[in-house]
Structure 1
Amino acid sequence: MFTAADFIPKTYSSTIESGTFEWSAPSNIALVKYWGKKDNQIPANPSVSFTLKNCKTITKLSFEIKDASTPLSMTDSFSFDLLFEGKPKEEFKPKIRKFLERIEAYLPFLKDYHFTIDTHNTFPHSSGIASSASGMAALAMNFMSLEKKLNPEMTDEYFYQKASFLARLGSGSACRSVKGNVVVWGSQENIEGSSDLFGVEFPHTIHENFHNYQDTILLVDKGEKQVSSTVGHDLMHNHPFAETRFAHAHKNLDKLIVIFESGNVEEFIKVVESEALTLHAMMMTSMPYFILMKPNTLQIINAIWKFRAETKTPVCFTLDAGANVHVLYPGNVSKKVLQFIKNELVGFCQNGQYICDEIGAGSQLIIDN
């Protein structure tokens, strides 16, 4: 297993003056939630997520080496243009610059090039789906493609683990968007290879019941959250229930090892819904306390519980740090659940909007030129 020091390159064996890469990276939905972190984007507890397929960021990275005509003021600084959906997006640049500062020690060539970063999402921006995970993962994959050109001897294992490591420094959950289908981030005694530094593919058996899991995302509120996830994570530092919560996450991850192997969807539902509500309970009991769920979030949850009790259909919900509801269910009940969503849940969505997604395979290379 690699350490942070292993990701600091000593020398490069090749050179490259210009080129273009393009990668897609998906969003992911945590089943065991990560909430609370230490310095350098280290999680306070482990998490596990389904990698999604359709909700993704596609990022093209063009680069050219700075030459003698480059102004002296730019030779020792990061130089990049940022386009979102084909148009300059100046307000995104500070976040990218901060990311570059965090990863420069691990990619020492960053100040040698001028980059053009052209990015877009397959889901509507401001749709209430966090795009930082998919966005930072896609950017990390592109930077790693460039480093692989400089170091062609690089192994695939090193490539993907370092990409996940770098993505984490941009957005914690981004480290779970590099690979698929089920990814663990954070050290867990019973999961070999698990690490606080990067995400790893879940190494245990996954029953066929979970192979084609669906995630329909109900867009309850597309507005900006009153409290950012960064602030929410920080509020765990002095939280009265923090240590109990972190221990609880470890226990739930151990439960999922057994559940994934046995295919027990009923027990899966208990863990996943409990985790979602515990995440929001932490928000409601922090100081200052806050609530990100909306009235329609609760309406949807109650409707799902009622439908499940009446029909015995194995459908459940989970939540991110926001008001939107992820409806999770096996592929073999898709028709029944989608009809239920259209009949009873769409009315609780902003402008009737929802997105159909499913388990996916992780980041994909589109252009290597």
Structure 2
Amino acid sequence: MVATPRPNLYRCKATCRAYANIAFVKYWGVVDANLNLPANGSLSMTLSHAHATTTVAWTDGPPAWEADIVVIDGKEQSGAVYRRTVSHLDRIRTAMGVNWPARVESRNSFPASAGIASSASGFCALTVAACQALAAGGHHDVPDRLHQARLARQASGSACRSFQGGFVEWSAGGDDSTSVACQVAGPDHWSLYDVVAVLDSGSKSVSSHDGHRLAATSPLQEERVRQVPSHLNAARAAIRARDLKILGEISERDAMLMHAVMISSEPPLLFLSAGSVALMRQIRDWRLQEELEVYFTVDAGPNLHVLCNEADVGEVAHRLARSPWVLDTLVNGPGPAPELRNSHLF
């Protein structure tokens, strides 16, 4: 590539805060690994207090740096995390027509890689900050947010849902231009709460990115995908009607179907822990025996997302905090779209 003009290092910097999301109807499996087109659509809520804040600066070499630098939660990255981040920076460089290296620093407000969609908020924030940094440096061909979301989707499918606040549906589509996420309802539509019960804050042995590619090996995947449209219709209607009972029942069923696919894949993926299963039973007991309106869902990890209405969030958080299996809790309402910030991490 022909060298592009050197950017102003001090102007060519931007910071974005983006929010993770929790899917009530989940996507698992891809039909096009290069474009990261999902096997099925999904529907989620953006989370108000689970976010990644990322600063990106571009330069064309000395005296700053000559290769990409990636720092996450204070630790300079190497290995798989570094390669995946640089691969996405390459994607952005190609889209923008530049060849400059970047420095990336990111901080999470929650445990990364533990089933709380850290890649969604991370790649959303990275994409917005990287594009905005180039715009700040005078680059005129910056992709709009829709194009940015499609770029982020190629790095992490669920990242495209984090480009919208509130309640968001990602249509599977059939190609890059039609696999997009749209808002179903804004953050102010419903005071639904997700109390994240952290049972394990460590990294997973297999990332969701790799796990998606095993979905097709499960004999249950085809049936799971067949049921998704009815789940989406019911969940969408429940959100519009603010009906926790219907949304909660769909969320629990859809999560269990996804984990059944994981367990029956080749090789099998077992993300749930003994504590996960015990807490699921406890939550159902609270609902069925004590009439506490509470439901769960769980992503690709051991941590549970416990859904409740605003009136019950204090009681639910208190009970979870006292659980012997729970290390920490994180209370979220519906969160906003990505936000550009004036203060930078470096």
Q: Does 1:50 align with 2:25?
A: no
State whether structure 2 residue 336 is matched by structure 1 residue 361: yes
- Which among 140, 144, 155 is matched to residue 159 of structure 1? 144
Query: After alignment, is 327-336 or 37-46 more displaced?
Result: 327-336
How many pairs align?
A: 334
- Name the % identity: 26
Q: What whole-Å deviation, never above 9, does each CA across 1:262-299 have from its counterpart, x for those lacking one? A: 22221111111111111101112223323211111111
Return the alpha-carbon distance in structure 2 between the equivalents of residues 198 and 22 of structure 1: 24
Distance 2:165 2:216 in 1: 31
**What amino acid maps onto 2:27 in structure 1?**
Y
Task: State how far apart, in whole Å, the 2-side matches of 1:286 and 1:227 are.
Answer: 13
Other-structure match for 1:122? 109
- Asked if 1:94 is matched to 2:71, the reply is no
Match for 1:243 among 217, 222, 236?
Answer: 222
Q: From 122, 135, 155, give the equivalent of 1:170.
A: 155
- TM-score, normalised to structure 2, is 0.86
Please list, as runs of the form range in 1=range in 2, the aligned pairs for 1:77-88 lying within 5 A after superposition.
79-88=67-76
Q: Specify which of 96, 110, 134 is matched with residue 107 of structure 1.
A: 96
The C-alpha deviation readout for 1:176-224, integer Å capped at 9, x for no partner, is 11221111112479xxxx975332212xx6797x621111111122333
Amino acid at match of 1:51: T
Conserved? CA contact 1:36–1:236, under 8 Å? yes
Other structure's SS at 1:26 match: strand
- Is the CA contact (8 Å cut-off) linking 1:128 and 1:223 kept in structure 2? no
Residues 163 and 338 in structure 2, CA contact (< 8 A), matched pair in contact too: yes
Bigger drift between 129-138 and 228-237 goes to: 228-237
The amino acid of 1:93's aligned partner reads Y
Give the aligned partner of residue 318 of structure 1: 297
- Give 3-state SS (helix, strand or coil) of 1:54's partner: strand
> CA offsets, 1:286-338, max 9 Å, x none?
23323211111111111111111123222110000111111111112222222
In the alignment, which of 140, 160, 180 is matched to residue 198 of structure 1? 180
* Matched residue, 2:324: 347
CA distance in 2, matches of 1:70, 1:301: 50
**Structure 2, unaligned runs of 5 or more:** none
**Cα distance, 1:237 vs structure 2:** 2.3
Matching of residue 28 in structure 1 with residue 24 in structure 2: no
Is 1:134 matched up with 2:134?
no
Question: Of the candidates 327, 331, 334, which is equivalent to residue 310 of structure 2?
Answer: 331
Partner of 2:258: 279
Rounded to whole Å, the distance in 1 between the matches of 2:111 and 2:203 is 14
Amino acid at match of 2:162: S
The equivalences for 1:69-80 within 5 A come to 79-80=67-68
Question: Shift of residue 359 of structure 1?
Answer: 1.4
Larger radius of gyration: 1
